[in-house]
A and B are shown apart, each in its own frame.
Chain A
């Protein structure tokens, strides 16, 4: 009972924060709402017995990506300009498209015969994930490090000042 109440609280928090990201006109408020969504998603991972992914989500997303995003906002906005509202497609057409996609996906989701197995015991996952990374998924793991290194070098090259005229 308390389990279900906790789940609904965290799921509601996640969805409401996501709505805040979508509807806020101020990009700083959007970033703060995005933090709520990321933390809520981390809580949902805990409900799904994915403890390691939940902690990684907190460290990488909230600790890394969100701080990076806030830095970019601070670097690219004059404070006076913060209140400028951002509309590209217009809310109504976008809303219609979202409703259309949502109905289609919802119908597909409730009709599909998902293969569901009885839940096993929620056990610590760190050992299994580390084991898989160094056995079955060794090549993707190494490729991932190359991708990260390339992204690091690329970000430095893109964001430094051009020295030659």
Chain B
């Protein structure tokens, strides 16, 4: 059976669903960030698959590069924030960080 566009879309969909599940079920802030990385990766797979099968030249790959770049920035800032939270609260459990709750 020929490997077609839908094969890649299915892989991307499954990775995306795993990412959503991770974001929803984690209480560890770093775990939530890892779920976000999964979601970004599934979007990247879609970009490149459509770029390959839609005849779009390099546009999809360049968007994937921008996504990778933004993911690096997100990871750096996000983990810095997590470390700051850990210093403040001695915990990175997102349930414990409710100082602003009325």
Name which residue of chain A comes closest to B21, CB basis: A22
Name which residue of chain B comes closest to A52, CB basis: B61
**Known contacts A88-B94, A91-B25: does B38 contact A69 (CB below 8 Å)?**
no
Q: Are A34 and B84 in contact (CB under 8 A)?
A: no
- Determine which of A37, A115, A119, A120 lies in contact with B38 in the assembled complex, contact meaning CB atoms within 8 Å: A37
Q: Are B66 and A144 in contact (CB under 8 A)?
A: yes
Interface extent on A, as a size class? 35 or more
Name which residue of chain A comes closest to B54, CB basis: A115
**Known contacts A37-B38, A129-B61, A129-B62: does B92 contact A76 (CB below 8 Å)?**
yes
A-B contact count (CB 8 A): 221
Which chain B positions have C-beta within 8 A of A165? none
Chain A residues at the B interface, C-beta cutoff of 8 Å: 3-4, 7, 11, 14-15, 18-19, 21-22, 27, 30-31, 34, 37-38, 41, 44-45, 47-50, 52-53, 56-57, 60-61, 64-65, 68-69, 71-73, 75-76, 86-91, 94-95, 97-98, 101-102, 105-106, 109-110, 114-117, 119-120, 125, 128-129, 132-133, 137, 140, 144, 147-148, 150-152, 154-156, 158-159
Q: List 28 A-B contacts (CB under 8 A).
A: A4-B1, A21-B35, A21-B38, A34-B38, A41-B15, A41-B41, A41-B45, A44-B8, A44-B45, A48-B8, A65-B72, A69-B75, A72-B83, A76-B92, A86-B25, A89-B25, A94-B25, A97-B20, A98-B20, A102-B13, A102-B17, A109-B10, A114-B50, A116-B4, A129-B58, A140-B66, A152-B76, A155-B80
